[in-house]
């Protein structure tokens, strides 16, 4: 029993800290400034300092009338500066809906235009810089999308509610 209590005493603070509240993301949504990147914190590789880059791409309406808001999120954390990169989806009332985990910051969409996410390869190593990917969201949020790199070579990303 002491071992279980000791384990829980050690684990609970870590679990509480890992809970994502999206407070910073919702703050950016409330500002409603499209295509501006906001940076919170300053990662320096010491202790528990993290850095979060948030860019609100805008909102779109599906053919069925649902309104969604799109955010690029890049969180730098850990001693080695690991990054967690996601496209976050919120509803019209800024309630979190789900996300697409993305491989790296250079793979985030450049913009949202007319209900379509536009990706380019200008910062992606080993990819054809002329290749662009467009993901149409007007029919709803796709479960998966393919991000082109070189012709038919690329990465598949999945929606996580």
- Please give the pLDDT value at position 8: 40
- Please give the pLDDT value at position 44: 78
**Is residue 145 assigned to a domain?**
yes
Percentage of the chain exceeding pLDDT 70: 86
What average pLDDT score do residues 28-55 get? 90
**Is residue 92 assigned to a domain?**
yes
What average pLDDT score do residues 126-147 get? 95
- Please give the pLDDT value at position 10: 42
**Is residue 28 assigned to a domain?**
yes
CB atoms within 10 A of CB 6: 10
- Please give the pLDDT value at position 81: 84
93-128 pLDDT, tens digit each: 999 999 999 999 999 999 999 999 999 999 998 899
**Is residue 12 assigned to a domain?**
no
**Is residue 1 assigned to a domain?**
no
- Asked whether 87 and 70 are in contact (CB, 8 A), the reply is yes
**Is residue 99 assigned to a domain?**
yes
pLDDT at 11 over 80: no
Number of domains in the chain: 1
Considering only the C-alpha atoms of the chain, give the largest distance between any 2 of them, rounded to a whole number of Å: 61
Strand order in the sheet with 82-91: 37-41, 51-61, 67-77, 82-91, 96-102, 153-160, 144-150
- Asked whether 135 and 145 are in contact (CB, 8 A), the reply is yes
**Is residue 44 assigned to a domain?**
yes
**Is residue 11 assigned to a domain?**
no
Domain range holding 139?
21-160
Average pLDDT, the chain: 87
What average pLDDT score do residues 132-149 get? 96
- Please give the pLDDT value at position 5: 41
62 or 81: which carries more pLDDT confidence?
62
pTM for the whole thing?
A: 0.83
What average pLDDT score do residues 41-46 get? 80
């Amino acid at each position: 029993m002491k071992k279980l209590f000791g384990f829980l005493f050690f684990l609970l603070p870590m679990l509480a800290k890992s809970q994502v509240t999206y407070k910073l993301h919702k703050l950016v949504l409330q500002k409603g400034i499209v295509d501006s990147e906001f940076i919170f914190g300053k990662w320096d590789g010491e202790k528990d300092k993290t850095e979060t880059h948030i860019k609100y791409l805008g909102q779109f309406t599906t053919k069925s009338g649902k309104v969604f808001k799109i955010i690029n999120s890049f969180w730098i954390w850990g001693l080695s500066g690991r990054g967690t990169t996601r496209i976050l989806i919120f509803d019209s009332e800024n309630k979190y809906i789900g996300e697409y985990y993305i491989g790296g910051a250079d793979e985030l969409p450049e913009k949202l235009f007319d209900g379509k996410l536009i990706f380019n390869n200008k910062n992606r190593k080993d990819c054809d810089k002329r290749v662009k990917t467009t993901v149409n969201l007007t029919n709803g949020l796709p479960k998966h999308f393919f991000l082109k790199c070189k012709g038919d070579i690329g990465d598949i990303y999945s929606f996580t509610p």
